[in-house]
A and B are shown apart, each in its own frame.
Chain A
Amino acid sequence: MLARLPKNLPGGVSLILPFLFICFSFSPVLSQGIEAEVDTLDPAVPDSELVVAAPVTSLIASDYKYDNGEVIELSWVPSIDDQLVGGNVIGYSLYRSENDGEPTLIAELLPGVNNYTDEGLSRLSTYRYTILTLTVNHETPSTMTAPITPEREWINFDKKYLFLIALIIGGSVMFFIETARRGKKLFVRKIAGLEAVDDAVGRATEMGRPILFIPGILDMDDVQTLAGLTILGRISRIIADYDTKIFMPVSRSLVMTAGRETIKAAYQAAGRPEKYSDDMVSYVTDEQFGYVAAVDGIMVREKPATVFLLGAFFAESLILAETGNYIGAIQIAGTARPAQLPFFIAACDFTLIGEELFAASAYLSDEPKALGSLKGQDVGKALAMVIIVVGVLAITIGQAWHVDFMMSLVDTLTNIFSTK
């Protein structure tokens, strides 16, 4: 049987007991007890041929900080016989006992390993751990850890700086939104791709040809799709005013629903609800290249004058953009996927690069509040730029001339911006 420790002991006893426990657990009696429990010894091997390794030492189980009480971290010093050259340890077996029950094997570890994170535990149970050091024909148990119960923390203080910086930037966005709401005029520079939206819609109207809007191939759970839809909202207003034909083939059913709501709202706002039709948005298929095959077909058959490619795109970006180019459409594209941006730049007339995609709807909006959010975004950029300049200079000077102050500044910055 495993040695059991009483749960509530007077202070002095609780200090002595672990010591006694450690000494005792090294005794052959207890070792045999554990070995018998986990059925480790091979009786067919004579004692003289046994390859015996020293046990792992300093096995410590500690509660993982800032979780929901489901994780315990274990660390230990590997067996002194765990050596690359001349060692005889072939691995470790980690056993866990729940509520002083029978120990069960939870992991088999390679030589050299000195820590383990035990996940998926219950904060209503207590746990104890032991490790068997394995040789080719023998297993040496370590001491058993003291009982431990994983604890739940309500606030993750590891993320305090993330919270703080997010608060500063989120606060700036709110501040500028509020400033704009109070009527203060905010300056935002011209963004070429967005300045071209009016002309692009006007061109389609003049030519009597439709506009094709492609919101990417991801669903509503991607923020780029949401960005594409918010821009669709602004473009639809212009389209409704000009009474231009729009067609939006989509690869996700939810995007179809949201797209219809968006366009319908624009027609309603323009006072032309009768001009709206559900046929403006239609579902094709969830399959990436099946969707591309269909959209390519639509492009060459319907010959839209303007193509908007705004959302999340993958390999299909170039196929779509080149086909649009081939039919002579004006193309305005935007995505936050850096790998696809070069293809849009090569094949489209205007490209919204990353951040510009998210800023577009605010830029096109006639609502000052939306514009205010862009200012808040700039505060974040300014902060990033200052930190980069200060950080790079501090670490360069600090290391070159061994300036402790600079190095502690770097440590602070690195600590603040590290994300666990």
Chain B
Amino acid sequence: MEHFALWLAAFLTLGIVSFLYKDNPWYKLCEAIFVGLSAGYWFVVLFWDNIYGKFWVGVFPLEEFDEAGREITAEPDYWLFVGAALGILMLMRLVPNIGWISRWPLAFIVGSTAGLYLINYFSSNMMRQVQGTIVPLFGAGYDASAYAIVGNIVVAVGTFAGLVYFFFSKEHRGVFGGTAKVGVFFLMLTFGASFGYTVMSRMSLLIGRMDFLLGDWLGMIK
């Protein structure tokens, strides 16, 4: 059985890699297997995790006892019926004349996402980052090295110029345009840094698969 699994994995691995040459029946077969199995897999996992684990157990909590044998069963959370009701409304889409009701749960989701993200993103992205940029250019005790001073200046100037680039209300011309160009310079450096940082980890993924093919499957490397 283990042997079969190994060969199957190798078959699937090579099938996916074959896409790099061109689209072909082998890849199409792997793709079909991948889509079918994974769609089923995720539905099952979500069903047991969310419908059973979160909804059912939330409404009808399982009996639990602590080490001393005292009952510590959670209180039933009947609010979860709201979630289930919205879920059922979603299915109204399948009923021809009242399909529009399915917009209610959609509206609920959009409203809650917008409400939750608004303050959370504002707090973590805007407030915290602005606060983090307020650092002394010459170090805490006027004792920073030239290396650190240049670094601090770069962080302050770069953040400022980057924000100028994102400004929508003013054309990028004159001094403003020049500053925006400095902003672009910093953004490109940032993207380059992220790019370079990721390349190695991507290579290690390939090495992992090569290790499987040449080691686990073919036994060419130990």
Binding site for B on A (CB under 8 A): 162, 165-166, 169, 186-189, 191, 220-223, 226, 254, 257-258, 261, 283-287, 289-290, 293-294, 296-297, 300-301, 338-339, 341-343, 345-346, 353-356, 359, 374-375, 377-378, 380-381, 384-385, 387-389, 391-392, 395-396, 398-400, 410, 413-414, 417-419
B48 at the interface (CB under 8 A from A): no
- CB of B3, distance to nearest CB on chain A (Å): 26
9-residue interface stretch from B52-60, B77-85, B133-141, B207-215:
B133-141
- Contact assessment for B166 and A355 in the assembled complex, using a CB-CB cutoff below 8 Å: yes
Closest 6 CB pairs of A and B: A287-B38, A391-B134, A342-B191, A290-B38, A286-B42, A417-B131
In which size bucket is the chain B interface? 35 or more
What is the bound-complex CA distance between A155 and B203, given in angstroms? 51
B198 at the interface (CB under 8 A from A): yes
Bits for B94-131, please: 1 = Cβ < 8 Å to A, else 0: 00000000110010011011100111011110111011
Q: Are A223 and B121 also in contact (CB < 8 A) when A189-B172, A258-B106, A384-B126 are?
A: yes
- Contact assessment for B109 and A221 in the assembled complex, using a CB-CB cutoff below 8 Å: yes
Query: Which of B16, B38, B46, B119 has the most chain A CB within a 10 Å cutoff?
Result: B38
What is the bound-complex CA distance between A398 and B134, given in angstroms? 12
Please name the residue on chain B nearest to A288 by beta carbon: B38
Q: In chain B between 128 and 154, which residues have their CB closer than 8 angstroms to a CB of chain A?
A: 128, 130-131, 133-138, 140-142
- Contact assessment for B133 and A287 in the assembled complex, using a CB-CB cutoff below 8 Å: no
- Contact assessment for A339 and B194 in the assembled complex, using a CB-CB cutoff below 8 Å: yes
- CB of B98, distance to nearest CB on chain A (Å): 15
A375 proximity list for chain B (CB < 8 A)? 168-169
What is the bound-complex CA distance between A212 and B134, given in angstroms? 44
Bits for B19-61, please: 1 = Cβ < 8 Å to A, else 0: 1001100011011001101110111001000000000000000
B159 at the interface (CB under 8 A from A): yes
Instruction: Name the contact of A223 in the complex, choosing from B102, B113, B119, B130 (C-beta under 8 A).
Output: B113
Q: Are A417 and B110 also in contact (CB < 8 A) when A189-B170, A290-B34, A293-B35 are?
A: no
B159 proximity list for chain A (CB < 8 A)? 388
B35 proximity list for chain A (CB < 8 A)? 284-285, 290, 293-294
What is the bound-complex CA distance between A286 and B43, given in angstroms? 8
Please name the residue on chain B nearest to A186 by beta carbon: B169
A414 proximity list for chain B (CB < 8 A)? 131, 134
B137 proximity list for chain A (CB < 8 A)? 392, 396
What is the bound-complex CA distance between A339 and B19, given in angstroms? 26
B168 proximity list for chain A (CB < 8 A)? 188-189, 191, 359, 374-375, 377-378
What is the bound-complex CA distance between A354 and B125, given in angstroms? 12
What is the bound-complex CA distance between A191 and B167, given in angstroms? 11
Instruction: Name the contact of A220 in the complex, choosing from B113, B127, B140 (C-beta under 8 A).
Output: B113
Please name the residue on chain A nearest to B105 by beta carbon: A254
- CB of A260, distance to nearest CB on chain B (Å): 9
A356 proximity list for chain B (CB < 8 A)? 166
Q: Are A353 and B163 also in contact (CB < 8 A) when A284-B39, A410-B134 are?
A: no
Please name the residue on chain B nearest to A379 by beta carbon: B169
Please name the residue on chain B nearest to A417 by beta carbon: B131
- Contact assessment for A297 and B28 in the assembled complex, using a CB-CB cutoff below 8 Å: yes
- CB of B168, distance to nearest CB on chain A (Å): 5
List 7 additional contacts besides A186-B169, A189-B167, A220-B110; criterion CB under 8 Å: A189-B169, A258-B106, A290-B35, A338-B190, A339-B194, A392-B133, A398-B136
A380 proximity list for chain B (CB < 8 A)? 126
B14 proximity list for chain A (CB < 8 A)? none
- Contact assessment for B122 and A226 in the assembled complex, using a CB-CB cutoff below 8 Å: no
Q: Are A413 and B134 also in contact (CB < 8 A) when A223-B117, A290-B34, A419-B124 are?
A: yes
A395 proximity list for chain B (CB < 8 A)? 134-136
- CB of A350, distance to nearest CB on chain B (Å): 14
B160 proximity list for chain A (CB < 8 A)? 385, 388-389
- CB of A182, distance to nearest CB on chain B (Å): 18
A301 proximity list for chain B (CB < 8 A)? 23
Instruction: Name the contact of A257 in the complex, choosing from B23, B102, B119, B170 (C-beta under 8 A).
Output: B102
- Contact assessment for B19 and A381 in the assembled complex, using a CB-CB cutoff below 8 Å: no
- Contact assessment for B123 and A162 in the assembled complex, using a CB-CB cutoff below 8 Å: yes
- Contact assessment for A254 and B106 in the assembled complex, using a CB-CB cutoff below 8 Å: yes
- Contact assessment for B138 and A400 in the assembled complex, using a CB-CB cutoff below 8 Å: yes
- CB of A222, distance to nearest CB on chain B (Å): 7
- CB of A332, distance to nearest CB on chain B (Å): 17
B109 proximity list for chain A (CB < 8 A)? 220-221, 254
- Contact assessment for B167 and A378 in the assembled complex, using a CB-CB cutoff below 8 Å: yes
B6 at the interface (CB under 8 A from A): no
A169 proximity list for chain B (CB < 8 A)? 122
A189 proximity list for chain B (CB < 8 A)? 167-172
B187 at the interface (CB under 8 A from A): yes
What is the bound-complex CA distance between A21 and B158, given in angstroms? 61
What is the bound-complex CA distance between A294 and B169, given in angstroms? 41
- CB of A334, distance to nearest CB on chain B (Å): 13
What is the bound-complex CA distance between A293 and B15, given in angstroms? 11
What is the bound-complex CA distance between A339 and B159, given in angstroms? 17
B4 at the interface (CB under 8 A from A): no
List 30 A–B pairs whose Cβ atoms lie within 8 Å, in order of A's numbering: A165-B122, A165-B127, A166-B118, A169-B122, A187-B169, A188-B169, A189-B168, A191-B168, A221-B112, A226-B114, A257-B106, A287-B42, A290-B38, A293-B31, A293-B34, A338-B194, A343-B195, A345-B191, A353-B166, A355-B166, A378-B167, A378-B168, A381-B163, A381-B166, A384-B163, A385-B164, A389-B160, A391-B133, A400-B142, A417-B127
